[in-house]
Structure 1
C-alpha cells in the first residue's frame, strides 16, 4: 500500500498546478513572449521549435543547473522526468543512469555533438567524468532514436552542450565551499564580435568525501577533478560558419574495492573535440559537415587496470526546407578503437557506415515525422531501423501523439574479445511504441506519455565455473545473448508559472522487467515523483525540491530489497551588488539515510555556499 500511495500527493499537486499554470500563462503571456520559441536539435539532428517536436523531450538550462546545486551530472539528471540513477558511493564513483528504466548503455550521449562512450565491460557513458560546471544546456530525448543516431539509442539520447560564445565580453568567477570538505573554483568568459565568437571555462573541485562502504573499508572516499572547455566560432561569409570545440576532464576518485582496505583510486579522463562547417546555400538547402573524436580513459590504482576507448565520427548532413516539408539526408561513419589488457588482441577496433533519411511535415493540426537509417557494421553486417511519429492538435495548445520505432546496440569490444567475452555475440534489438497527450501554451507545458519498449537478445553476464571457454581455458562466467526485457511505463510531467511561483514536476510509473523470469530489473524503482517550486522574496530567489523514489531490488533475482526514500532540498540566491551573487544550497534536509546501490552509502545533509562575480 505504501508504494501505491507514494505518488498520490505529488499527482494531485502536479495536476492542480499544471492546469492552473497553463491558465495563468494563457491569460498573461504577451504576443512577444508567445512568439519566442525554444529550439532543440536532438529529435532530428536539425534545429526545431520545441513546440513542433513530436518526441518526448526535456530541456535543462544553465539557470536550472545553477539552482540545483548538483555536484555531478547524474544528480542533475535524476531531477528529470523518466530518469533514475544508481551509484557506488559519492559523485566520483561508478554511476549508472537509467532512462525509462533502460540499461545505462542504452542511452546515446553526446557532448557538443561528439559521441562519448566506454567500450569497457557493458559500455555506456562514464557519467562521473562529465563536468557539470562546464555545461550550459542538456536535452533529454526519451524513446528510441536509432533511426537518427544509429547504434546505442535504445532508451533515448542525451545531448550535452557547453557554454556558447556571444557578442560582447562576459567573464565570471565563482568560489564555493560545503560539507565533506567540498571546495570549488569555476572561472571563464564568453564573448565575440560580428565575425568571431568564443567561450572558455575552467573548473577545479575537491572533496574529502564520506565513507562509501560503512561495512567495508573505513576510509573516506573523496575526489579531485579539473576540467576545461573551449569553443571558437567563425562566420566565414554570410550563411557559412565554422565551429571548433574542445572539452577535457580529469577525475581522481577514491573508492572501496571488494575485500580491500587499501587507498584505491579510479582515474577517469574524458576528452572531446570537433570541427563543424555549417553552410546555408539557399533559403531551401543547407548542409553540415563535421569531424569529431571522443576518448575515454579509465585506470585503477594500485590495482593494475587500464582501458581506453576512442570514438571517431564523420558526418555529412543535408537539409531541405520546402514550405511545410522538411527533408534530411545524412552519410555517417563511426570508428571505435579499444585498448585493454584483458582483450585478445589487446587493441581491437570496428567501424560502422550509415545512410539516414528523414521527413517532417507540419500543417494545421497535423505533424508527421518519419526516419529511416541503414547501418553496415564491419563485424555484424547490415542493420536497418525506422521510426514514425504523428501528432494531432485536436484543440489549440493540446495534441495527441503516437510513435513507433526500432533500435539496436552492438556489443562492446570488451564483451566480445575480453577473457569474459564471446565473439559470436549478436546485437541487442528493440521495438518501441508510445502514445501521449501534450499541452503547450504560453511557456507552460504538460504531458502524459505511455510507452512500451521490448528488447531481444539482451546481453547479460551468465554461467558459472567452467561454463565458458574462450581459448584460454575455463572461466567463472561470460557474456551472452540470454535474456529479453520490457521497459514499460507512464510519465506525467508539467512546468509553468502560477502567480509569482515557478513550478515543475513529474511522476513516473515504470515496470522494467525480465521477460523470461518476470522479475524486475535491478536498481530501478517502480515509482518516482519529483516536484519543485521557486519564487522571489525580498530580492532573493528561493526554492525547494522534493524527490520520492519507490522501492527497488539490488539484484536480478529480486532477493535484495532496497527501501524507497524521500528527499527534500532547498536553495537561495541573491545579487548582493551589481556584479556579485551569493548562493546557498541545502540537500537532504532530513539527513535521510538511503541507498541507490546496496552496501554503498549516500551523502547525508549537505550544505554548499558560493559567491559568484559576473559583470552584466
Structure 2
C-alpha cells in the first residue's frame, strides 16, 4: 500500500502531534479531559468486542469507547460526527445534518457495519446499512466502535465492523437534567431526562425535540431553505428479581422530517424517517461459573417521501440465547440466535418479502499472563441461500512496559438485502458478499499516554454493484435501467494511527488514517472515500472555562466509480467552550467550521458553513 505523505500541512500536524510523547490515543475513554481527576481508575468495560462485558484493556480487537462526557465535550451534533472523530471512519451526507448519511468504516461500504441500539439490531433491507441520520444523538449515552470483521460473533452485516449504541440507564435515587439550545439557521432544541430507582427497580427516560429552518442544500434546484424537525424518546426499565436474575426492557423512538428539493424543478419534498427499537432481556447467573442471557428485540426502519411517492419499511426481529461459562482464566460462550427480516416496498415482488437466519456461534477467550486469545466460529443458515460459516482468531502478546502486539484473521459475509433480491432491479440469484481480513498492530497504554498502530487488509468478493443498462432482472422484462449483480471485487487496505497524552493541563488526542479502498476489477478508488483522514483535538481548563479545539482533515475523493469527478480535500476547524454556572447549571458553546470552509462530501450537495451553537444545561445535584 502506498502511503501518501505529500500533504505538507498534514505532515506538519502529524509532526506536531508526535512532538509530545505518545500523543496519539487508543480511545477517547482512555484519555480523560483536563478537568477530570488524575487518580487511576478501573478500565471501562465494553461489550462490542465479544458480546460479553470485558475490560477494554483485555480486548485484542481495535475498539473505541466514547462516553457521554466525551460526546458533550466534542460538541458533535450527529452520531456520524462522533464516529469520524474516533478514527478509521469516514462520513458523507447529502447535505445538512439530517441528509442521507453514509458511514464508511475502514473504507468499506456503509452496509458492511452492523449497528445495535441497546442490543437491538438496526438495518435497512432497502438500502442496506443503518439509517445513521435517523439516530438521535441526544438519546445516546455511550458508543462502542469495533473495527474489523465480526461476523463470527454477530452474523451477517459485520463485514467491516460493529457499532454498539447505548441509551441512558437507571440509577439509584433520583437524577434529572434538562437542556435548551440555539444554533445557526434558527435551530432550536429542548430536552430532558430522568433517572432513578432503588435496589429492585431502576428506570431512565429521555425526551428531545429539535427544529431548524435549515439552508439551501442544492443551489441548482429549488432556491429555498431545507429545514427539518425531529422528536425522540428513549426509555429503559430494569427489575432485579434477585441478585442473580434481572429483567430489562428498553425502547427508542425517533421521528425525523426533512425538507429536500424534489426531482421536479421548483418542487419541495419531505422525507419522513421513523426509527423504532424495542427489546426485552433476562440476565441470569446460575452459579459462579455459568450465566445466561435471553433477549427478544425488534428494530423498525420506515422511510417515506411526499409528494413524491416512495415508501419502504424494514422490520428486524431477533431472538438470542447466550450461554457463558467461566473456566479459570478462560471464558467459553455459546449463542443460539434467530433473525427474521421483513421488507415492505412497492418496488419488490411481492410487495412484502421476508427471510430468516438461524445461527449457532461459539467463542473462547483467554487472558493468561502475557497472552490474550480470542477464538470465534459461527454457522448461519439463511432461508434464501443456505448455510454460511465464519471464523476469527485474535491474539495479543504483552511486550512489557505498557506495550502489546496484536494480530488477527477473520472471515465475514453480508446477505443481499431483500431489495437486492426481489426489487424490479434485483436478482434472486445473488450470492452473499464475503470478506477475509488480516491485521496486525502494536498498542501502548501507560497512565494518560496511549498509542496504537494497526495495519489491515480486508478483501471482499461477490461485491454487489448496480450494473447500468438494460438487464434481465428478477421480473425478466429487461425494461429497467439496470440490475444488481455480484460483479465487484474490492480490497480495503490501510494503516490506522491513534493516541493521546496529557501535557500539564492540556489533554491531546489525534487519529490518522491512510487508506486505499480499491475496486480490483477496475483498479479505481472506490467513490467518495479519501486515502488520508486525520483528526487532532485538544482541551484544557482556564479560569473556570473548559476550552477545546479540533482540526479535521479529509483528503481528496472521487464522486464517481470511474474516478473522473474529483472532490477536493478540505480542513475544518472547530472550537468549543463550557463553563459551570453554579452547582447545577452549565453553559456550552461550539463553533463548527470556524473558517467558513466551503467543501462537498457529495457532488452537488452544499455542506454547512460556519455554525454557532449555544446551550444551557441543568443537572440535579
In the TM superposition, what is the alpha-carbon distance from 1:2 to its structure 2 partner?
8.1
2:111 matched to which residue of 1?
105
The change in CA–CA distance for 1:260 and 1:126 in structure 2 (over 3 A counts) is: farther
Alpha carbons of structure 1 residues 173 and 375: separation in structure 2 relative to 1, 3 Å: same
1:272 is aligned to 277
Secondary structure of the structure 1 residue equivalent to 2:421: helix
Distance 2:232 2:329 in 1: 43
Per mean C-alpha deviation after superposition, the further-off stretch among 552-561 and 11-20 is 11-20
Tell whether the 8 Å contact from 2:88 to 2:496 is kept in structure 1 after alignment.
yes
The CA RMSD over aligned residues, in Å, is: 1.9
Could you tell me how far 1:203 is from its partner in structure 2? 0.3
- Deviation of 1:213 (Å): 0.8
Distance 1:604 1:339 in 2: 38
Change in 2 beyond 3 A, CA 1:379/1:568: same
Q: Is 2:57 the counterpart of 1:70?
A: no
Matched, 1:450 2:455: yes
Residue from 575, 586, 591 that aligns with 2:596: 591
- Give the structure 2 partner of residue 284 of structure 1: 289
Aligned to 1:19: 22
Q: Which range moves more in the overlay, 31-40 or 153-162?
A: 31-40
Q: Is the contact between residue 468 and residue 476 of structure 1 (CA under 8 Å) also seen in structure 2?
A: no
Q: Give the drift of 1:496.
A: 3.2
Aligned ranges for residues 141-160 of structure 1 at < 5 Å?
141-160=146-165
Question: Deviation string for 1:553-595 (max 9, x for gaps)?
Answer: 0000000000000000000111111111111110100000000
Query: Secondary structure of the equivalent of 2:427?
Result: coil
Q: Kindly indicate whether residue 586 of structure 2 is the aligned counterpart of residue 581 of structure 1.
A: yes
Helix, strand or coil at the partner of 2:20: helix
Are 1:57 and 2:38 counterparts? no
Partner Cα distance (1:65, 1:471) in 2: 50
**Structure 2 match to 1:188:** 193
Moved more, 524-533 or 278-287: 278-287
CA 299–58 in structure 1, closer or farther in 2 if over 3 Å, else same: same
Distance change >3 Å, CA 3–CA 340, structure 1 → 2: farther
In structure 2, relative to structure 1, the CA distance for the partners of 1:38 and 1:422 (3 Å cut) is same
Q: 1:19 to 1:443 in 2, by over 3 A?
A: closer
- Partner residue of 2:554? 549
**1:31/1:559 CA distance change after superposition, 3 Å:** closer
Superimposed CA distance per residue, residues 522-544 of structure 1 (whole angstroms, 9 cap, x where no aligned partner): 00111011011001111111110
Q: Which residue of 1 aligns with 2:101?
A: 95
SS of equivalent to 1:415: helix
Q: Does residue 244 of structure 1 match 2:249?
A: yes
Q: Which runs of 5+ in 1 are unaligned?
A: none
- The answer to whether the Cα contact below 8 Å between 1:176 and 1:183 also exists between their aligned partners in 2 is yes
Counterparts of 1:322 and 1:92, CA distance in 2: 47
Within 5 Å, give how 1:355-394 maps onto structure 2. 355-394=360-399
Answer whether contact 2:22 2:449 (CA < 8 A) is retained. no
Alpha carbons 2:151, 2:413 under 8 Å: kept: yes
Note closer, same or farther for the CA distance 1:541–1:578 as it changes in structure 2 (3 Å cut). same
1:20 to partner: Cα distance = 6.4
Residue in structure 2 matched with residue 439 of structure 1 by the alignment: 444
Deviations 1:419-456 (A, max 9, x none): 11111100000000000000112243210000000000
In the alignment, is the contact (CA less than 8 A) between 2:23 and 2:500 conserved in 1? no
TM-score (norm 2): 0.96
8 Å CA contact 2:17, 2:24 repeated in 1: no
Does residue 8 of structure 2 align to residue 5 of structure 1?
A: yes
- Partners of 2:194 and 2:6 lie apart in 1 by 47
Q: Secondary structure at the match of 1:17?
A: coil
Residue 85 of structure 1 is aligned with which of 91, 95, 98? 91
Superposition deviation, residue 465 in structure 1: 3.1
Q: Which residue, 103, 106, 124 being the options, matches 2:129?
A: 124
- Aligned residues between the structures: 612
For residue 162 of structure 1, what is the aligned residue in structure 2?
167
Deviates more, 1:55-64 or 1:471-480: 471-480
Whole-angstrom distance in 2 between the partners of 1:188 and 1:579: 15
- The answer to which of 471-480 and 166-175 deviates more is 471-480
Structure 2 unmatched runs, 5+:
none
8 Å Cα contact 1:467-1:476 kept in structure 2: no
Aligned-partner SS, 2:366? strand
Residue 245 of structure 1: CA displacement?
0.3
Pair 25,332 (structure 1): closer, same or farther in 2 beyond 3 Å: closer
SS of the aligned residue for 1:128 comes to helix
CA separation of 1:110 and 1:566: change in aligned 2, threshold 3 A: same
Q: 1: CA distance between counterparts of 2:324 and 2:161? A: 23
- 2:466 pairs with 1:461: yes
Select which of 501, 505, 508 maps to 2:506: 501
- In 1: Cα distance, 2:554 partner to 2:21 partner: 21
Q: Is the contact between residue 6 and residue 548 of structure 1 (CA under 8 Å) also seen in structure 2? A: no
Alignment of 1:199-598 (within 5 A): 199-465=204-470, 468=473, 470-598=475-603
**Higher mean displacement: 303-312 or 495-504:** 495-504
Q: Deviations over 1:147-177 (max 9, x none)?
A: 0000000000000000111112111110010
Between the aligned partners of 2:38 and 2:322, the Cα distance in structure 1 is 33
* 1:260 CA drift (Å): 3.4
Whole-Å Cα distance in 2 between the matches of residues 371 and 32 of structure 1?
A: 37
CA–CA distance in 1 between the matches of 2:233 and 2:19?
43
Partners of 2:200 and 2:528 lie apart in 1 by 50
